[in-house]
Structure 1
């Protein structure tokens, strides 16, 4: 490309700037980290897996901790024949049970079919019928655990469905596209079972090193891993706020289950504003809150332990905002900890994950590549093209399906836990194999990935409050005031039972 564009023949570059552009790519030294061993359930024919080239499969394996689905329902919003509901649900239930999910064979209420124009009505009817049925069967107060939804043939209703289910009815849902569902392919049903399991509180797999407590600076003391991200609306759309999300691991030492919270903030504000907050309550006075504080309390309730170490992966920050984001968000983390107990200051490691860069890596030995000709999963570079004094590295943790793979760039902005480069690189690479939605290692560390998914989900909650024309009137959500007195529209609150599971998967 350099030769084709003829940069060295450009007089402006040579005469005005005195630059010469080398036509050969730079050679850098790299290492390939070994993949981790993954633990599956002992009742499966294969109890563990050693991934090769960043991917594996679920053949002869069962989820390491299968969730339990006792109360579920199904609704078909597509043009598929209503009788298809029975075939699809039977095959899906059988697949889930074969993979270790304890899935009751019969739905709580009969299968439903509805016109796409009646989505809100049918969802509310299902919620009402489910509550009545649960009360009649002596399970008053228990929620419908899962609603399987075959989406309409015409796209556009997914966001509304998720908003109604997760913020109004408190229903965890699994949406299925009619075109994919109608084929009843085994691979598709297997992928659905992975998502369903984590949505009902199960774990698909865990790192063997985590079970055996051999992960440095994670397994020795209770450690919570956070992921944070902010999604922004289009720059011209000033009516819509940005959406921040923070997820946190809720199990230790496995560090596989994550809990997610979303929050609206001022338009195109990159710093997460609601990590820690103090609000005035008419009856209680000043009340401490915020996403970090809520997650720390939830971790204590889930594990019975107080986090003694924090690792925070922050997605989507450019170099020009490093110091600003670090200063504000570290201060919020400190205040959230102090609000729980005087003197509670667990050591923090603050890592920024960058995906939007132009660095590409190519193998010099074409015998040592993945199936698509890219560098191997686990390739890490921490010299030559990295900062000479700061702690950063490039990690290609995934096998690209097509095209040139893009490594993630990790910047360690603050490290009280004193990670060595090898320890943090190995931890980051190993975590990339625990992503719940597929049997592949992913390109960025899962906490940051989950935060991105949760923040994107939060955009649906906002869009549901606006009309198609973009009017800001007629909202059911209250307004909020951000930094600098900027008013923005608050998000609808996610129901507690939904928040406790990985609803964003």
Structure 2
């Protein structure tokens, strides 16, 4: 059981933005947002938007959050009292930007639904593009690949001296050197302690629907990455494919095929 999910109505949100290849000025970026729809964090709904290429900030985040909050209410019969938001694909230089714009967009979405609706929000950035690697001091303490055991947490020494961040190596490496995920808490109204958030995030990594092992990144962020990657295949414009050459006008926003409403509450991206 995950008390954070069961004590109060809680929604987990995961977000990511997929960009075209470097140097491509034609294809747009795709923003994806997923939200949990039950107290076991096993079912998710997704929302997708197209935005200008190379734009990391999620321009339509308010509309996307409204969409998922409505779906949550229709599914569970209650409004979430707490929101835990995992954001993928943000570098340290963009922390201030996403903290100002995206946390504000989440709050604006809640106010749009009801003027007095103000759930507590925790905003966590998930990073995989870093150079930190961990190894057991004694080789016999590692797994069969020589990596540290699954569940390793590092929150002292190499982390920020006063901000809330930690490294979590949640998966067991099958081959090569495992790369931990770096979690940075930019905004926390749910008053997590370090141990609580680390334990909850690690347990969540056991709930990825595609496999029976722990995964390297928390599932909401993982699902958002999958949605953004999958959405390019829903374009009505054949030149959106990364295997095709670019042509003038190939990145027309209107050429994106939206997900049918009948699929809005199912995990079509799996």
Give, in angstroms, the shift of residue 466 of structure 1: 2.6
Match of 2:92 in 1: 319
User: What is the correspondence of 1:81-120 to structure 2 with a 5 Å cutoff?
Assistant: none
Report Cα offsets for 1:25-44 as digits up to 9, x if no partner. Answer: xxxxxxxxxxxxxxxxxxxx
CA distance in 1, matches of 2:176, 2:235: 34
CA distance in 2, matches of 1:417, 1:473: 45
Match of 2:246 in 1: 470
Q: Which runs of 5+ in 1 are unaligned?
A: 1-208, 277-289, 480-487
Alignment check: 8 A CA contact 1:263 1:490 kept: no
CA distance in 2, matches of 1:473, 1:420: 50
Aligned residue pairs, count: 267
Match of 1:340 in 2: 113
Give, in angstroms, the shift of residue 386 of structure 1: 0.5
Match of 1:391 in 2: 164
CA distance in 2, matches of 1:298, 1:306: 10
Match of 1:503 in 2: 268
Alignment check: 8 A CA contact 1:307 1:346 kept: yes
Give, in angstroms, the shift of residue 307 of structure 1: 0.4
Report 1 or 2 for greater relative contact order, CA contacts < 8 Å, sequence distance ≥ 6. 2
Report Cα offsets for 1:35-94 as digits up to 9, x if no partner. Answer: xxxxxxxxxxxxxxxxxxxxxxxxxxxxxxxxxxxxxxxxxxxxxxxxxxxxxxxxxxxx
* Corresponding residue to 2:68 among 285, 295, 306: 295
Alignment check: 8 A CA contact 2:5 2:40 kept: no
User: What is the correspondence of 1:6-405 to structure 2 with a 5 Å cutoff?
Assistant: 209-210=1-2, 215=3, 217-251=4-38, 253-276=39-62, 290-405=63-178
Give, in angstroms, the shift of residue 339 of structure 1: 0.5
Report Cα offsets for 1:445-479 as digits up to 9, x if no partner. Answer: 0000000000001122247443744234589xxx5
Give, in angstroms, the shift of residue 498 of structure 1: 1.9
Q: After TM superposition, where is structure 1 displaced by more than 4 Å over at least 4 residues in a row?
A: 472-475
Structure 1 pair 490–330 and aligned structure 2 pair: CA distance change class (3 A): farther
Match of 1:440 in 2: 213
Alignment check: 8 A CA contact 1:466 1:473 kept: no
**TM-score, with structure 1 as normaliser:** 0.51
Give, in angstroms, the shift of residue 316 of structure 1: 0.7
Give, in angstroms, the shift of residue 296 of structure 1: 0.1
Give, in angstroms, the shift of residue 384 of structure 1: 0.4
Q: Which runs of 5+ in 2 are unaligned?
A: none
Q: Secondary structure at the match of 1:351?
A: strand
Q: Does 1:427 align with 2:203?
A: no
Alignment check: 8 A CA contact 2:27 2:250 kept: no
CA distance in 1, matches of 2:250, 2:31: 23
Alignment check: 8 A CA contact 2:236 2:255 kept: no
CA distance in 2, matches of 1:241, 1:497: 25
Report Cα offsets for 1:247-281 as digits up to 9, x if no partner. Answer: 00011x212111111111111000111112xxxxx
Give, in angstroms, the shift of residue 438 of structure 1: 0.7
Report Cα offsets for 1:337-383 as digits up to 9, x if no partner. Answer: 00101111101000000000001101002222122110000000100
Please give the root-mean-square deviation of Cα atoms over the aligned residues, in Å: 1.6
